[in-house]
Amino acid sequence: MRFSAFLVIFLTFWFLILFYWFPPAKPTSFQDDQEDNPSLNPAQSRCKESVYVYELPDKFNLGLLRDCQHLNVYTNMCPHVANYGLGQPLPKMGSTSWFGTHQYTAEMIFHARAENHPCRTWDPLKANLFYVPFYGGLHCSSKFREPNHAVRDALTFELSEFILQQPWWQRNNGMDHFLVLGRTAWDFMRTEGGVDFGANKLLLLPPIKNMSVLTVERNPWVGSNQHGIPYASYFHPSTVGEMLAWQKSMREIERPYLFSFIGAPRTGVEKAAIRDEIIKQCDKSTRCLLVKCGHGASKCHLPSEVLKVMASSHFCLQPAGDMFTRRSTFDSILAGCIPVFFSPHTAYSQYAWYLPADPNAYSVFIDGEGDVGKRIEDHLVKIPIDKIERMRRTIIDLIPSLTYMHPNSTGYGFQDAVDVGLASLAKHVKSKLPLAKGSY
Ligand SMILES: *[C@@H]1O[C@H](CO)[C@@H](O)[C@H](O)[C@H]1NC(C)=O
Ligand SMILES: *[C@@H]1O[C@H](CO)[C@@H](O)[C@H](O)[C@H]1NC(C)=O
């Protein structure tokens, strides 16, 4: 008895000694080795950025999903937040890379991709970007109808306090930190005295103003720290082969319609007034395919129908709605359909990291104010066929960088929306912090 007790103490003692001399490899050390030895992961050697992903208390992200019935006051988000925010699979599309992705879940997909990203580092000392993975969009839409502003804003204040306490914040006053939001910036910029449509004040909090904010729609007037990222569409391939095959089919498909419009009229939204005109003109023209969205079941909510309509048209009309931007813009590019914009803020002032600097290279602009009376069809038929083909080639070449690859994928055959976002952000932060401490 006494001997075995001695043995236990003796062994414990040696165990502790050994433990402190040779601590067991943390799960992170494998990644660190990879980082120091790029040959283990060729994709990593291409990384100019090194992203540290904060482990936030789960009330800021995954914990919110436990109450997924109440994440959006208009709809049950449970099916949409499944599969890292990709939503429900669409087996009818013929492969496992298609999902009925909700328009406001890009923040979740970005998070899942970042966690699995070859440019991720577990060592903050090596990081030049710090990602704060707050599901701000989902949280915001769960509180749209909360009349008490203190209650509506509470979690955003807690987030702000949390990041201020992080030692890595101090290094560059948060200038190398960023958020990703799957909703538009307007939802986080409530001004007192304005119309209260449910927004909180996240983007107006002083620490957040020091950060970069990646969002599906930036405020083009005051959002100098806001950067547009694509809305997530329905295609989330894992391999470059699938991507190439899709691009090829969109190049070759026959497009019997000159133009199409999928959408609903809007009443009382000034920037959407042109929708009535568009619906009228499209309805009258034999060369336009109109899919009117309304309440209840409608083709316009079925991804396969949406893509079918867009893939059978040369041009897809993209008027502003409640917001300047539309997820539909990204669906249309995915279908090789050239977008027609009526406001510069639907794309040109939004997605500088992703779209060519010359709008004429990939889109048509019809001045929503001046040309409303003019017939859209007259405008589009005048575009020479070789110009149409050139624009279509350009947008089909853009598809990979506007796509959110499947988060499980580590095959880096192409640069997807997250790759482009991280690389562009690293460049941007570097330009703002030329003398910063850190590995630049
Ligand atoms: C934001 O950055 C400025 C310097 O650019 C700094 O003076 C300020 O303290 C920072 N704010 C916060 C909340 O860290
Ligand atoms: C992705 O990976 C997770 C965890 O490794 C796994 O549970 C899931 O089934 C995978 N999903 C797909 C579509 O491969």
Centre of ligand 1 to C-alpha 197, Å, is 30
- Residue 112 to residue 83: CA distance in whole angstroms: 10
**Three-class DSSP category at 276:** helix
pLDDT for 336 beyond 70: yes
What are 60-114's pLDDT values in tens digits?
999 999 999 999 989 999 999 999 999 999 999 999 999 999 999 999 999 999 9
Neighbours of 32 (CB within 10 A): 15
Centre of ligand 1 to C-alpha 432, Å, is 14
SS (H, E, C) 356-411: CCCHHHCCEECCCCCCCCCCHHHHHHCCCHHHHHHHHHHHHHHHHHHCCCCCCCCC
Neighbours of 48 (CB within 10 A): 12
- Average per-residue pLDDT for the chain: 89
Check residue 246 and give its pLDDT: 97
- Residue 215 to residue 115: CA distance in whole angstroms: 19
Q: Which atom of ligand 1 is nearest to the CA of 170?
A: 14
Q: Which atom of ligand 1 is nearest to the CA of 175?
A: 2
274, amino acid identity = I
| Residues 44 and 122: beta-carbon distance below 8 Å | no
Considering the entire predicted model, what is its pTM?
A: 0.88
Take residue 229 and report the two structure tokens written for it: 């990222």
Take residue 378 and report the two structure tokens written for it: 């007259």
* Ligand 1 pocket mutation pick from 173, 177, 225, 429 by most atoms within 8 angstroms of CB: 173
Looking at the chain, the whole-number percentage of residues with pLDDT higher than 90 is 78
Q: Any idea which ligand is nearest the CA of 96?
A: 2
Q: Any idea which ligand is nearest the CA of 207?
A: 1
For the ranges 25-29, 193-197, 304-308, the lowest mean pLDDT is seen at 25-29
- Residue 347 to residue 413: CA distance in whole angstroms: 26
Using a 6 Å cutoff on CB, does residue 173 contact ligand 1? yes
Cα dihedral 183, 185, 186, 188 in deg (nearest 10): 90
What are 210-253's pLDDT values in tens digits?
999 999 999 999 999 999 999 999 999 999 999 999 999 999 99
379, amino acid identity = H
Q: Any idea which ligand is nearest the CA of 410?
A: 2
Provide φ and ψ at 394, rounded to 5°. -60, -50
Check residue 219 and give its pLDDT: 98
Taking CA atoms only, the protein residue closest to ligand 1 atom 4 is 173
What are 344-388's pLDDT values in tens digits?
999 999 999 999 999 999 999 998 666 555 689 999 999 999 999
Cα dihedral 45, 46, 51, 53 in deg (nearest 10): -70
The full set of domains in the chain, from first to last, is 48-233+416-438 (no CATH), 251-399 (3.40.50.2000)
Centre of ligand 2 to C-alpha 37, Å, is 27
* Ligand 1 pocket mutation pick from 157, 162, 175, 210 by most atoms within 8 angstroms of CB: 210
Q: Which atom of ligand 1 is nearest to the CA of 173?
A: 14
For the ranges 131-140, 303-312, 362-371, the lowest mean pLDDT is seen at 362-371
